[in-house]
Amino acid sequence: MTTDRPEGLVPRNTVRGRPPTTGSVQCDRCGRNAGKTRASWPEGRICGPCFTVATRTHGTCPDCGRHRLLPGPPARDGGPRCAPCAGILHDFHCARCNQEGEFYRRGICARCALRDDLTALLLTNTADPTTANRLIDVLCQADRPESIITWKRSAKVQELLTSVSSGQTPLTHEGLDSHRDTAGRAADHLRALLAHHGLLPYQDPYLNRFEAWIDDKLRPLPADVAKPVEHFAKWHHLRRIRAMATPDKTARGPVHAAKQEITETIKFLDWLWQTHHRTASTCTQQDADTWLTTGPTTRKAIRTFFVFARKTGTNTRVEIGHYKAEGRPALPQEQRLAWLRELLTGTSESLPYRVAGTLLLLYAQPLVRVAALRTDAINVNDTTGTIKISFGTHPVPVPQPFAELLSQHLRTRPNLRTGAGAGSPWLFPGIRAGQHLHPNTIMLRLRGLGIELLGARNTALDEHLSVTPPPLVADALGYSYQVAFFHADNAGEAWTRYVDRRTEP
């Protein structure tokens, strides 16, 4: 990718791969210099990074046909061998569980070392041994137990686990909420693990944090401002979001929109009180018009508050119309195709973000929907090798070379080695058990490359609408008919005369 690389590409400064090593000892496997030799095997001296890779590689040995640890050197005729076949005399079996791998502590593997640490921490003064043992089992199920060992080194994590084990903190959502101020991130991580493994009922993480956010926002406000904001936040937004949040439908989007509307409402009512000494009930139309015309367009978000105020009788005088964007960003088609080439064949990003970006540029998928895609949306035909993906009411084909890129991502999804395990249903698993990658993470990575996200989505959708009627595009890509026809009109396509044959007798 040289001449076809899109303009505006911002190359990432991160250098992937293992860090450089220095020293006078040359590794006979990788040829690099190291400070010391980690092991001496038949091929010669082995450095630390090569030893770590070797003791974490499992598979079928091409010589003996057994599935086990393969620390032997990669060979041209079949790959690495198991220790006996490679002539390595070291016994890699854990003295406790007999699993092969790298020793973490005194002849035992990391999983057994983790169980020892948790047993000492949680079973010493436990109020409920059964619950403590279940907690230990959950934490030890991590595919990469080293990550849990690192996590529990924190004093805040140890205090939290000890409090749960002793019974001081009930093993409930409310109990974990009590540690929000002292160990919020640790409590959220533990909550995600417990909910993923069934020890706690499901609770939407965005909804839980939204409730705490409302209280934090209300606390410093004067009473005449706080009262109508609390009524609006809890009786309009919170009640509605509680009713719609399910494990299959996250509250992330509604919570984000609600925060924007509540924040703008606070700004307006605080200004109204400080400037005119008026409240939500005594606000006039002129007050609202002055506020809207003397600031940014984000102030239009107060409209929902006044719709709610009219319904509840708090204020029936003020009316605010719908906001209509003045422009509609679009990415030139040649730039969209250049970005597709870069993501499909370039090296400017890692595989998950290349897949996510392609879903945006090829299928006009919003990043909120991309992040929440499940693996069962991907259908692979084992006979023909073709792949289809479902965004709406029926699956759509995945062309090459994106099909191969998507297959590779399915085989190597990241973030599966902590608490969730390989059973994660998400196409883009997050770092917390049971949760997918946050859309903002994808957004920042793609924006960092230089992709104009909204323009890219509009152009991709316009391209589909230029050759396919809006109802069919809506069904295939998961859009409403209203949105599809709106984009078709903006794109100049005369599909308004299209007759859906499914409605004909």
- 321 or 1: which carries more pLDDT confidence? 321
What does the pLDDT average to over 475-487? 89
Query: How many structural domains comprise the chain?
Result: 4
Tens digit of each residue's pLDDT (9 = 90 or more) over 20-52: 556 788 999 888 888 888 999 998 999 988 998
Q: Check whether 502 has a pLDDT greater than 80.
A: no
Is the separation of the CB atoms in 378 and 402 below 8 Å?
A: no
Q: Check whether 108 has a pLDDT greater than 60.
A: yes
Same domain, 184 and 267: no
Same domain, 359 and 464: yes
Same domain, 355 and 479: yes
* Phi, psi of 131, rounded to the nearest 5 degrees: -65, -40
Tell me the one-letter amino acid at 37. Answer: T
Burial call 121-132: b when 16+ CB within 10 Å, e when fewer: bbeeebeeeebb
Burial call 487-497: b when 16+ CB within 10 Å, e when fewer: bbeebebebee
Q: Check whether 222 has a pLDDT greater than 90.
A: yes
Sheet of 396-397: strand order equals: 378-380, 387-389, 396-397
CA distance 376 to 389: 9
- Predicted local distance difference test score (pLDDT) of residue 495: 46
Q: Which of 278, 312, 346 is the C-terminal boundary of a domain?
A: 312
Q: Which of 363, 351, 336, 344 is nearest to 452 (CA)?
A: 336
- Predicted local distance difference test score (pLDDT) of residue 182: 81
Same domain, 369 and 448: yes
Is residue 93 in some structural domain? no
Is residue 141 in some structural domain? yes
Is residue 82 in some structural domain? yes
Opening angle at CA 243, ends 241 and 244, nearest 5: 70
**CATH number for position 396:** 1.10.443.10
Same domain, 130 and 214: no
| Strand extents, DSSP E, 21-170 | 25-26, 33-34, 39-41, 44-46, 58-60, 67-69
Tens digit of each residue's pLDDT (9 = 90 or more) over 114-125: 999 999 999 888
DSSP designation for 73: P
Q: Evaluate if pTM is beyond 0.85.
A: no
Burial of 256 (C-beta count, 10 Å sphere; 0-12/13-18/19+): middle
Structural element, H or E, at residue 404: helix 402-411
Same domain, 264 and 358: no
Q: Check whether 324 has a pLDDT greater than 80.
A: no
Over the chain, what is the mean pLDDT? 86
Q: Check whether 19 has a pLDDT greater than 60.
A: no
Token look-up 């620390």 returns 71
What does the pLDDT average to over 422-426? 77
Q: Which of 141, 170, 201 is the C-terminal boundary of a domain?
A: 201
- 323 or 189: which carries more pLDDT confidence? 189
Q: Which of 201, 226, 257 is the C-terminal boundary of a domain?
A: 201
Same domain, 337 and 486: yes
Same domain, 445 and 345: yes
